[in-house]
Structure 1
Amino acid sequence: MPRYLISFEKGAMDHIPEEDFPEVGKASRAVCQEAKDAGVFRFGGGLSYDDGDVEHAVVGTDGLVTDGPDPESKELIGGVLIVDVPTREEALNWAAKIATACRCPQDVRKFMYDPDPIE
């Protein structure tokens, strides 16, 4: 079954008042639980950018580590949900649910087909 990455950009939730974040967290966890109950949830979570000990780094093909995002990249991911669903339409439905919960638009991308997936 195809897997889809549902994600949003860092900063997409900046418009949400700080006092609303507990409600947003509760709503997004409810969607993840719904996906688990439906048997389509594979992974989900937000990415930390201001945790002090969590720093963004890029590791080159030569092993060189550079702090911060790749200068060529224009976006950083703020959070992800991976679902295993039979159709793009179903992935879009889950994206709509998480968009409502997180109060921000979601990007939906299908993973490449892997004939021998690592489980």
Structure 2
Amino acid sequence: MKKYLLAVQFDESTPESDEDLQAQMARTSRVTDEMRSAGSWVFVGGLLPSHATTVVRPGDGTTTMTDGPFAETKEQLGGFWVIQCDDLDQALAWADKCALACGSPIEVRPFQDAQWK
């Protein structure tokens, strides 16, 4: 089985109401439960907004730390699933369900095999 990252691309410029957020969480929980039942689920996590981030940058043998996201964009990483599937087609089928549940784009990225040995 191969492992994939399903990254939720969240638009922070359009905040959701508490009611909308609760409905989204209920939908994504159902997808996560379905993944667990199918044996595809590995890990899931939601992230705080990008203003809570700290970026650590290397340079000249030292690092600097700055507040805020790495890139100034409208869409930020809002959460993710790590799943295991037989192939990319199966991962894309899960991403389809996740996108509908979240109402946000999902980036699908395979992990390098060597990281799971």
TM-score bin (small chain): 0.7 to 0.9
- How many aligned residue pairs are there? 113
Match runs of 1:1-119 below 5 Å: 1-11=1-11, 14=14, 17-49=17-49, 55-61=52-58, 62-71=62-71, 74=73, 76-114=76-114, 117=116
TM-score (norm 1): 0.80
Q: Which has the higher strand share?
A: 2
Question: Equivalent pairs: percent with the same residue?
Answer: 30
| Runs of 5+ unmatched residues, structure 2 | none
The answer for unaligned runs of 5 or more in structure 1 is none
Q: Which of the two has greater helix per residue?
A: 2
TM-score (norm 2): 0.81
User: Deviation of residue 12 (structure 1)?
Assistant: 6.8
Q: Partners in 1 of 2:25 and 2:13 — Cα distance? A: 11
Preserved CA contact (<8 Å) 1:7 1:77: yes
Computed over aligned residues only, the root mean square deviation of the Cα atoms, in angstroms, reads 2.4
Amino acid corresponding to residue 56 of structure 1 in structure 2: T
Does structure 1 retain, via aligned residues, the 8 Å contact 2:95–2:106? yes
